């Protein structure tokens, strides 16, 4: 069993620098408390600030170094005033998804005690679901690499939505395995295919492959929902869903909607997993207006770090990484339950450093 994991660390822009530091500190404390596993961080410079200063969005051989690591951790990327000539954001992380085939975008959505809840129904306190977003194809296929969009003068732009059998089979297989894993941990273990199969042949193809893969998992309950109905149901009855698998753009929108139900993007953890490596990041933006002011909520980054530790356990066979991940999640839950975690994002009195310190103190205690 591997005891040392190499992590490519991209702090990025804005509060990405702040929250990445928090995630590193918590992950280090968690593995130290558990013992028997070590994290080795290898920093890579990338992002809009790096592009502004050098003309490149990632340092030389940065992509290769990221792919050679056991996992990649990213803070956040983007600055409002730094754009490509066509007006799009600097986004090397989209290229990393594409290059390393990080097809499984895992977006957990969970209601934490004493965190803001936007729905009055008491069942909202039990929201615990996952949106599984395909992260390399769909409508984002055109955005990952410049030149895939077709710009016709100043009159028209055409984007390509791409769905391939190879990637979609892997995505749905990942979804059924995730649903089964969650069932083993006490969740419903139900997988819903979210698409627009009644309109688009690409989505009918997406659902057709879902049905084929479902036949391999007769023990997992499977269902369907059109994406517009899914948006409605996430507001009307989110507690009825467990794992949802969907195309890239649909997943991008639905995961932010669902995140709003349980407090906001400061709790939105994210993993993007492929066959060889995984990238972990908070799903929020870079918020450069509050960078370095000790105001950012680090919990999305901290919880993304816990997802990374769990991934490293599966990859290395070292269960201590999984136990370290469980320590982090337990510390966050206990801190919220005791009203000892009060991020400024939610109107509380605790900044980045205070929230991080509270999580570390609780995970070191058990």
Strands 278-280 and 71-76 turn out to be parallel
Cβ-contact 306, 267 below 8 angstroms: no
Q: Which residue in the list 196, 217, 311, 334 is annotated as catalytic? A: 196
Other CB atoms within a 10 A radius of the CB of residue 284 amount to: 25
256 is catalytic: yes
Chain-centre distance for alpha carbon 80: 22
Catalytic residue of the set 70, 195, 252, 334: 252
Contacts of 72 (CB under 8 A, 6+ apart): 7, 8, 10, 66, 96, 277, 278, 279, 280
Contacts of 140 (CB under 8 A, 6+ apart): 94, 248, 249, 252
Q: How far apart are CA 214 and CA 208, in angstroms?
A: 10
DSSP alpha helix (H) spans, 81-140: 92-100
Q: Which of 128, 233, 256, 319 is catalytic?
A: 256
Backbone angles phi, psi at 189, to 5 degrees: 70, 40
Is 310 one of the annotated active-site residues of the chain? no
| 141 is an active site residue | yes
Q: How far apart, in whole angstroms, are the C-alpha atoms of residue 222 and residue 136? A: 24
| Active-site residue (options: 53, 121, 211, 228) | 228
Do the beta carbons of residue 352 and residue 294 sit within 8 Å? yes
Rg (alpha carbons) of the chain, rounded to whole number: 20
Residues carrying an active site annotation = 141, 196, 228, 252, 256
């Amino acid at each position: 069993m591997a005891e040392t994991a190499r992590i490519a660390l991209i702090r990025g822009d804005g509060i990405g620098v702040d929250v990445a530091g928090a995630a590193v500190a918590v992950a280090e404390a968690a593995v130290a408390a558990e013992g028997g596993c070590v994290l080795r961080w290898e920093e890579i410079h990338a992002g809009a600030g790096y592009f502004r200063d050098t003309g490149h969005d990632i340092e030389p051989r940065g992509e290769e170094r990221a792919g050679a690591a056991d996992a990649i951790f990213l803070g956040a990327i983007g600055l409002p005033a730094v754009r490509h000539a066509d007006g799009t954001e600097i986004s090397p992380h989209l290229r990393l998804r594409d290059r390393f085939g990080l097809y499984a975008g895992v977006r957990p959505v969970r209601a934490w005690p004493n965190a803001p809840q936007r729905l009055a129904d008491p069942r909202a306190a039990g929201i615990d679901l996952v949106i599984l977003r395909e992260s390399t194809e769909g409508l984002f296929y055109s955005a990952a690499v410049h030149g895939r969009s077709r710009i016709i003068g100043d009159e028209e732009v055409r984007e390509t939505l791409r769905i391939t059998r190879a990637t979609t089979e892997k995505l749905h297989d990942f979804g059924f395995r995730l649903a089964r894993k969650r069932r083993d941990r006490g969740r419903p273990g139900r997988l819903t295919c979210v698409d627009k199969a009644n309109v688009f042949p690409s989505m009918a193809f997406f659902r057709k492959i879902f049905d084929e893969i479902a036949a391999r998992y007769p023990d997992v309950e499977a269902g369907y929902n059109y994406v517009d109905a899914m948006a409605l149901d996430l507001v009307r009855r989110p507690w009825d869903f467990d794992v949802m698998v969907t195309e890239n753009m649909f997943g991008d929108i639905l995961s932010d909607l669902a995140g709003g139900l349980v407090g906001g993007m400061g709790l939105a953890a994210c993993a993007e997993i492929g066959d060889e490596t995984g990238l972990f990041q908070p799903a929020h933006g870079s918020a450069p207006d509050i960078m370095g002011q000790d105001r950012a909520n680090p919990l999305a980054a901290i919880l993304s770090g816990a997802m990374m530790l769990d991934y490293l356990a599966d990859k290395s066979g070292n269960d201590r990484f999984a136990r370290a991940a469980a320590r982090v999640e337990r510390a966050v839950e206990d801190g919220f339950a005791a009203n000892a975690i009060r991020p400024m994002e939610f109107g509380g009195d605790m900044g980045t450093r205070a929230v991080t310190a509270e999580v570390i103190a609780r995970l070191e205690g058990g």
